[in-house]
Structures are given as structure tokens and as C-alpha cells.
Amino acid sequence: MEQRTPWYEAPLAALAVRGRRSAREGGGAPERPDEIHSAALVTQSAPGDPVSTLPWRLVAAPDGGVGRDGTAEAAVRDLVRCLGARATAGTPVVLMDAPHELTLLDRELRRRDGSGLTGHLGSPLHVLDPLVLDRHLDRGRTGPRVLDTLCVQYGVTPPRTTDPAGRARAALEVVRALGRRFAPRLASLTPAELHSLQAVWFGAQTRGLATTPGEGAARPTPAWPLRDTEPATAPPL
């Protein structure tokens, strides 16, 4: 029987988005705090291989441009098309704090054309969330579990800036390193199986955070990897 390559040694993609709130400089609140400022999708065929990067800028730069896509609408369409291509190919997509990242993208789509993310992908998206995985697999560790600290924990160089491309690359490397560290528990799982397990683990983690003072507000819903923006009609990813 041919041995299957573990998912953490196989092709992976990673998506990171940056909202206007985090990108805003100076005081005051942005008019649309859930609007995407910029995003990046990176792909790597195997550990150590070159990483391809697709960047998008949805908010106009000082010179009036929005990057290679020409308009914000075109940028959103191209981003979702590329994400859908990864889903169709069966390539797992790494998202650090997936409910935050995917919900930003879902709301951007709903604002621009009235339909959410699930209607655009065409195929199931298999998500790998380093935050959920680390919380489940290393429950006893104390301290913050943000991307920078996960990078240190798993021997990955932290991103130097908040640029989405750097964050996406770092999250992808964290997931590969996490997979290798916990290989006895993860190697036999397919991305689809791990996706389903993370939804269960996230629900349990959310209930646990809700009982911790100061933590519950960060997880208002157990839905994963996409928050219930329209619970009555939105299909699962």
C-alpha cells in the first residue's frame, strides 16, 4: 500500500486579511471597521519550497491606486476566485483565527454584491487554524496565543510587520511545524477530517473561554470557521 504524504508535508495555502481598523493610523474609528484594507494568499508545494504570494489592496493608496487589480471590486473577485481554486484543488488553507479572517471576507462580499463567501467557493474549503490546533494540542501551556508567540513556540521567524503576506507565510510555517511536532496525533488525519475536528474543538474552547473572566467577549459564537452572519440561510463551508 502506498504511504500517504502527511498533510503538513503536502501543498498548503494560507490567507491573511487586514481590516481597516487594524490598518488605520491616527485617532478615531473607521467608518466601516469590518472593511478589508488588504489581503494576501500564499501557496507552498512542500516544506522548503518557494512560496508564491498573491497580494491585494482593497483600500485606495495615497496615489489613488488599489494595487494590481485596478478596483476594489475586482480585487475582491480575484481574491475569492483564487481562494476557490485552492478549495477545488483540495489544498488546505491556513487561517490564523479563521472566524475573524473569513468573516471579514464574507462581510466584504455581502456589502459589495449581497451574497456571502460560501456561495462563491464552489467546493468545500478545508481550513487549518493554528490558534485552534495549538489550544487543543498544547492545552497546558499558559500565556498569549497570538501569531508572534506561536512562531516562537514552533521555531518560526515571526513576521516583521502586520503586512498580510508576512502573516500568511508565518501562519503557514507554524502549521507545518505544529503538524510535525504532534505527528503521532495528526499524521493519520485527512484535511477534511481535521477541518471537522477543529469545528468541535473550537466549540469546546469557546465554552471554556466564556467561563474565564475577560475572555468570553472574544468568542461570541462557537461557529467555526465562519461566524453565523445569517444563521437561518448561510450554508456551512
Q: Say if residues 129 and 175 touch (Cβ distance below 8 Å).
A: no
Q: Is residue 227 part of a domain?
A: no
Please report the pLDDT score of residue 24 as a whole number: 46
**Tally of domains in the chain:** 1
pLDDT at 72 over 60: yes
CATH of the domain at 81: 3.30.420.10
Please report the pLDDT score of residue 60 as a whole number: 63
Q: Is residue 55 part of a domain?
A: yes
Q: pLDDT tens across 12-57, in order?
A: 999 999 987 654 444 444 445 568 999 999 999 999 999 999 999 9
Nine-digit cell string for 79: 481574491
Omega prior to 6 cis, within 30 of 0: no
14 Cβ contact partners less than 8 Å away, ≥ 6 residues apart: 41, 42, 43, 93, 94, 95, 168, 169, 171, 172, 175
Which 3 state secondary structure label does DSSP give 80?
helix
Please report the pLDDT score of residue 112 as a whole number: 85
Q: pLDDT tens across 108-161, in order?
A: 999 888 888 988 898 999 999 999 999 999 999 999 999 999 999 999 999 998
Helix (H) or strand (E) holding 128: strand 127-128
pTM (predicted TM-score): 0.85
- Higher-pLDDT residue of 235 and 197 is 197
- List the domain range (segments joined by +) for residue 111: 7-19+35-201
- The b/e string for 226-237 (b: 16+ C-beta within 10 A; e otherwise) is bbeeeeeebeeb
158-181 mean pLDDT: 97
Q: Is residue 208 part of a domain?
A: no
Q: How far apart are the first and last CA of the chain?
A: 32
70 Cβ contact partners less than 8 Å away, ≥ 6 residues apart: none
Please report the pLDDT score of residue 30 as a whole number: 42
Please report the pLDDT score of residue 156 as a whole number: 98
Please report the pLDDT score of residue 3 as a whole number: 73
Q: What is the mean pLDDT of the chain?
A: 85
77 Cβ contact partners less than 8 Å away, ≥ 6 residues apart: none
**Checking DSSP bridges between strand 12-19 and strand 36-44, what pairing results, if any?**
antiparallel
- Higher-pLDDT residue of 219 and 232 is 219
228-236 mean pLDDT: 43
Please report the pLDDT score of residue 195 as a whole number: 98
Q: pLDDT tens across 207-229, in order?
A: 876 554 444 444 457 899 998 75
Please report the pLDDT score of residue 210 as a whole number: 53
